[in-house]
Structure 1
Amino acid sequence: MTAFGKLVRTTAFRLTLFYLFLFALFAASLVGYFAWNTRRLITEQITTTVNAEVGEITDIYNRRGLRGLVFNIESRALRPGSNLYLVTTPTGVAIAGNVGSLAPGVISTIGWSETAYRRLEDQDRSDHRALVRVTELPDGIRLLIGRDLDERRRMFVIVAKAAQWSVLVVVVLGILGGIFVARRVLQRIDAMTGTTQRIMTGDLSGRLPVGRSGDELDRLAENLNAMLERIEALMKGLKEVSDNIAHDLKTPLTRLRNRAEDALAKSSCEADYRAALERTIEESDGLIRTFNALLMIARAESGQARGNMDDFDAADVASGIHELYEPLAEDDGMTLRLKTAPAPLHGNRELIGQALANLVENAIKYGKPAQAPQPGTVVSLDTRQILIEARREGDTVLLSVTDHGPGIPEADRKHAVERFVRLDSSRSQPGSGLGLSLASAVATLHGGELRLSDAHPGLVATLAIPFRNGASERLAAQTLDVPQKVA
């Protein structure tokens, strides 16, 4: 397809032609309305002038008779640029005036009519047009007074030529403007097309060009660029996950195989085989937990869990997690406390509970004081406490877990929520590095975020999820008078 062919096929050019047609039609209608009103105005001026002269001449006839009428008509007919005058007998014989000939039947028709005529002094044989009024005077005398319509015709010709030139100029400028607009739009669309073609070949770093005008194409390009950034981040994350899975699961799988091989080679009794199988099952359970966490993260990030959302009180979720993990914390020498207030929420209860459980597990594992106490030193109970909170703050529901451990340096917090990431301080503890990643994915699914901040000392991990009024009115009414609960 040629460049001009592409140009005329663009939507911008077609829209320009469409609006050009509408504008030309509007301009022609406006000029036509102006011409019609000009014609009507000239006609009204003629009728007003003629009616005034008819009244004057009729009065002269009534006062001075036929002789006075003829004298007055001859006097008026000699004036330059005068009207048309004609006085005839009842049979149509001309008595006085400046009209040489009329269309047949005009003089016998009383009232207004438009007719062809020739003056007495005209040398050419061409007829002119006039608007005349025929009046019957006493004794049957006919009086015709009229005015030439050449002024009206010339005015109409001037308006018609102006309309023709105006429409021509509008059409030419409209077509040129359409070509300019279509070329500009086509250049931007071609630039976008070239970028998308590079992206389709695998170059996800390409971005659509964004101009400075802020028009609809710029807004579209900005939204598409945001989408491309999200796709690039997802693809990069997928690659990292694949690499991390291959790297982090290779060790437990190898250990699992080696233990099975050792059991076959070295076990000599049923107890040895049973112990080897128990270790194998334990290792397999760890792998299954890792894969379940990955599947849960994938469900959260893809939005598949949105179909299981319901109304519930986040305080009930926090109470359930506290009850579940309190014995585990005590076994590890920690104290698990609970502080809740009514916090109605709309979301996936299972995922939010799992995310909060992950935060509590991390606090139990890594929330011990950074330095071991000296022998004989009394350890403060506050440093061994983990606080679970659930509350509503403005339009946000906050689920937080606070410990008094070493915390996470601010520079590492963004990195800590990535999959399979384990900071140096946590490598001695068992785990897969998916806990914070799952919590972050669940918060994002609900339109919120996972916040990591200092507890001075320690870490505050908070799930901040937007509150939705319409979805939680019932729960809010039920929990409005419930006092704040502290455990």
Structure 2
Amino acid sequence: MSLVEVIGLPLRSWQRLKRLWRTSVFRLALLFALAFSLVVGVSLAGVYWLSTQYIVGQIDVNLRDELTQLRGDVSDGSGEGEGLVGQIQEQVAQTDKSSRLYLLVDANQHILAGNLLRWPDDLSCGQPAQFSDQSDIVPKKLQAEDSDIRVRALSTRLADGHCLLVGQAMVEEEGFTDHTGYLLSWALGIITLFSLAGGGWMGLAVLRRIDTITHTATQIMAGEFSRRIPDEGKGDEFSDLSARLNQMLDRIDELMAGMRSVTDNIAHDLRSPLTRLRNRLEISLTHERPAEEYRNVMQQTLDDADQLLALFNTLIAIAQAEAGMRREVFTTVDFSTLLIDLVDFYQLAAEDRGVHLSAQIQPGITRLASQGLLTQIVVNLLENALNHIPAGSKVAVTLTQQEKSITLTIADNGPGIPNPADRLRVLERFVRLDAARSSPGSGLGLALVRAAMHEQGGTVELHDNHPGLKVLLTFPRLKVS
């Protein structure tokens, strides 16, 4: 590793940390970690407080039992205090250096017995109390074990006015609570650390996935249109996003390829009529001609111009249909009546070509649609069928309605399109099969049908009719509410 790389490594790490801090996921994870740590800290503090309260409660129970036992060993009355002196001295002698403390004082707080040096300050006889760090109260033999000793004490007033105090030096209890607090503090610190580390890991994982998408987008912007976002196969929201973006890129690539194809096909299809038009005009200018011949040349030129205008109008119609620019003119259309009228209109043309045109139309079918688009779809399909089948053939038109869809079928028994790939290809712009090149047309009819069906929310499918071609149009049922 070079010196420049060694120097740049901390800089890159710092930049990555700055990017990590700017990510929403890391901030949310950090906020969650802090909130989680706060909740855990409050919970652990509650556990610590409950533990100390439980210990103090148990000490109070023991002290209360001992007070009851001491008073029970002597008779009640005016001499109850003097009777306890021997009992307390015996208990003090037995406890020696233990943590149990006793004190018996008279009404003037003169010590009668016990191992406490004096009565604690601010302690009323008959009340529980806790005091600490009073070296003039606790015996030195107990202070040697802990310089900051705390004492929990209970006291009671006797019948003769004396006060009896029984206490517990909380040496072991304090050690337990301190150790518990230490452990809980460590637990809180570890939990907080792992929460922050988890948030950082989540942020880095999300940042890595986003960097992959950003890198791919940068490559596509640089002109590498075949690049796609790699799918890690985790099935999460990033995988779904990558799949949708890749589908969008595929669609854009398909549209761009279609645009290039359209451009090439337009240039090819315009070349012939423009060349004919130019040659015809050039020839007409070579020498003087009769007025009738000039009129014929002008008429042929107008026919070529009309052909070019029709080509451009069809392309505009396809573009408008694909962009959904005609949806605002959707109305309720009586599809059955419209189809009957169109079939009747083409009956004469079919008879002239020697073709039998029949229809089986379910009455009363209506839907929300553009009547102009529906008319254009049916007209294109009928003309396509009549132009590409020989005399003696049959064309059958069928319209049916299902629960959720409307189906229109136009089938013939002509030569058809045997190749499944060709049946898909003829739906593209300017595609004409070899058998159709001798007949007039631009190869836009079926492309316009597909675009119009897309705007209507339907689908178009071409099937082999054995023999012939069957065009299946499926419309979703749409009605005005």
Same fold (TM over 0.5): yes
May I ask how many residue pairs the two structures share in their alignment? Answer: 457
1:13/1:91 Cα in 2 relative to 1: closer, same or farther (>3 Å)? same
- 1:96 corresponds to which residue? 113
Equivalent residues of 2:125, 2:157 under 8 A apart: no
- 1:119 corresponds to which residue? 138
- 1:73 corresponds to which residue? 88
TM-aligned CA deviation for residue 61 of structure 1: 4.1
Equivalent residues of 1:386, 1:403 under 8 A apart: yes
CA distance in 2, matches of 1:3, 1:287: 63
SS at match of 2:408: strand
CA distance in 2, matches of 1:163, 1:305: 70
Paired residues for 1:369-448 under 5 Å: 384-409=393-418, 410-448=420-458
CA distance in 1, matches of 2:476, 2:258: 26
CA distance in 2, matches of 1:112, 1:312: 93
- 1:84 corresponds to which residue? 101
Q: Of residues 451, 460, 473 in structure 1, which corresponds to 2:470? A: 460
Equivalent residues of 2:99, 2:170 under 8 A apart: no
- 1:304 corresponds to which residue? 325
Equivalent residues of 1:315, 1:391 under 8 A apart: no
Paired residues for 1:320-331 under 5 Å: 320-331=341-352
Structure 2 residue identity aligned to 1:113: A
CA distance in 1, matches of 2:154, 2:306: 114
TM-aligned CA deviation for residue 124 of structure 1: 4.0
Deviates more, 1:387-396 or 1:58-67: 58-67
Equivalent residues of 1:7, 1:13 under 8 A apart: no
TM-aligned CA deviation for residue 88 of structure 1: 0.8
Equivalent residues of 1:7, 1:183 under 8 A apart: no
Identity %: 33
Equivalent residues of 2:102, 2:167 under 8 A apart: yes
TM-aligned CA deviation for residue 266 of structure 1: 6.2
Structure 2 residue identity aligned to 1:466: P
- 2:383 corresponds to which residue? 361
CA distance in 2, matches of 1:46, 1:36: 15
TM-aligned CA deviation for residue 463 of structure 1: 1.6
CA distance in 1, matches of 2:338, 2:92: 110
Deviates more, 1:160-169 or 1:231-240: 160-169
Structure 1 residue identity aligned to 2:469: L
CA distance in 2, matches of 1:361, 1:318: 14
Equivalent residues of 1:102, 1:115 under 8 A apart: no
TM-aligned CA deviation for residue 137 of structure 1: 1.3
Paired residues for 1:98-177 under 5 Å: 98-106=115-123, 108-116=124-132, 117=134, 118-120=137-139, 122=141, 124=143, 126=147, 128-177=149-198
TM-aligned CA deviation for residue 268 of structure 1: 3.3
Equivalent residues of 1:86, 1:97 under 8 A apart: yes
- 1:379 corresponds to which residue? none
TM (normalized to structure 2)? 0.87
1:43 aligns with 2:64: no
Q: Which segments of 5 or more consecutive residues in structure 2 lack a partner in the other structure?
A: 1-10
TM-aligned CA deviation for residue 145 of structure 1: 2.1
Q: Which segments of 5 or more consecutive residues in structure 1 lack a partner in the other structure?
A: 370-382, 474-487
1:38/1:96 Cα in 2 relative to 1: closer, same or farther (>3 Å)? same
TM-aligned CA deviation for residue 444 of structure 1: 2.4
Tell me the alpha carbon deviations over residues 205-245 of structure 1, each in whole angstroms, 9 at most, x when there is no partner. 11011102122221111110000000000000000000000
Equivalent residues of 1:363, 1:403 under 8 A apart: yes
CA distance in 1, matches of 2:286, 2:207: 74
Equivalent residues of 2:80, 2:160 under 8 A apart: no
TM-aligned CA deviation for residue 85 of structure 1: 2.0
- 2:294 corresponds to which residue? 273
1:316/1:127 Cα in 2 relative to 1: closer, same or farther (>3 Å)? same
- 1:352 corresponds to which residue? 374
Structure 1 residue identity aligned to 2:417: I
CA distance in 2, matches of 1:345, 1:431: 31
Structure 2 residue identity aligned to 1:5: Q
Deviates more, 1:147-156 or 1:31-40: 147-156
CA distance in 2, matches of 1:102, 1:256: 128
Deviates more, 1:57-66 or 1:10-19: 57-66
SS at match of 1:73: helix
Structure 1 residue identity aligned to 2:129: S
CA distance in 2, matches of 1:76, 1:23: 51
Tell me the alpha carbon deviations over residues 183-214 of structure 1, each in whole angstroms, 9 at most, x when there is no partner. 33333322222211111122211101110212
CA distance in 2, matches of 1:326, 1:204: 50
TM (normalized to structure 1)? 0.86
- 1:236 corresponds to which residue? 257
Structure 1 residue identity aligned to 2:442: S
TM-aligned CA deviation for residue 265 of structure 1: 4.4
1:449/1:136 Cα in 2 relative to 1: closer, same or farther (>3 Å)? same
Deviates more, 1:301-310 or 1:26-35: 301-310
TM-aligned CA deviation for residue 361 of structure 1: 1.0
Equivalent residues of 2:331, 2:370 under 8 A apart: yes
SS at match of 1:140: coil
- 1:343 corresponds to which residue? 365
Structure 2 residue identity aligned to 1:114: Q
Structure 2 residue identity aligned to 1:72: Q
Equivalent residues of 1:7, 1:182 under 8 A apart: no
